[in-house]
A and B are shown apart, each in its own frame.
Chain A
């Protein structure tokens, strides 16, 4: 089975700094990776995804990097804002019985100080 872990349970940054949240996975056959943001009292919200045939993908203020060699992915948030404060989960998918069922990591709580 897949195990997914995040390197830090909590990350504190100052407003305007760049944030980097890391995630490690165990299954080398994993081929779809998603980052979710979960604000207090809400369901996870999709941020960005990447497939195994890519090593970098950029969105608005966010970048996901995938290193398949060491089975590691990261989420970079540029110019972090107080509204970015939330718990961030990586989710990793592997084909299982013909369907992709994502396994969630434990989450990193991002705290942005004004």
Chain B
């Protein structure tokens, strides 16, 4: 049974056209994360929510925003996608903020034309 679900699995958007990626979880975990992963590279943390508290990484571009309307859902909004934003976007959860295992979704691959 899928525990961290990401939709869509593949997303094509046009340069500058806003796009939203979604993530949902059935684990009732407190923490949700968004990562960007480019080809052959490690996942790069963009931001995370501890419950409703939003934590932005210092080098995350302003172009990237996130919303967490409830425990189960988290969204990644890219306001004006550039060609350099084409990547795999991974959502992850953890039960708490501590020595906790992260559970990853399958990712959404974003293509910017």
Contact = CB atoms under 8 A, between A and B. Distances in A.
Contact of A104 (B42, B98, B99, B105): B42
B105 to A, nearest CB: 5
Contact of B99 (A45, A46, A89, A93): A93
Interface residues of A, number: 27
Interface of A: 4, 9, 31-32, 34, 36, 41-46, 49, 51, 89, 91, 93, 97-102, 104-107
Given A107-B40, A107-B42, A43 B101 contact: no
Given A104-B42, A106-B41, A107-B42, A43 B90 contact: yes
Contact of A100 (B100, B104, B106): B100
Given A89-B42, A107-B40, A46 B102 contact: yes
A80 to B, nearest CB: 21
Contact of A31 (B6, B42, B44, B99): B99
Interface residues of B, number: 26
- A interface SS class: strand
B7 to A, nearest CB: 13
Given A44-B43, A106-B41, A106-B42, A100 B98 contact: yes
Contacts of B97: 98-100
Contacts of A36: 104
Contacts of B42: 4, 89, 104-107
A62 to B, nearest CB: 15
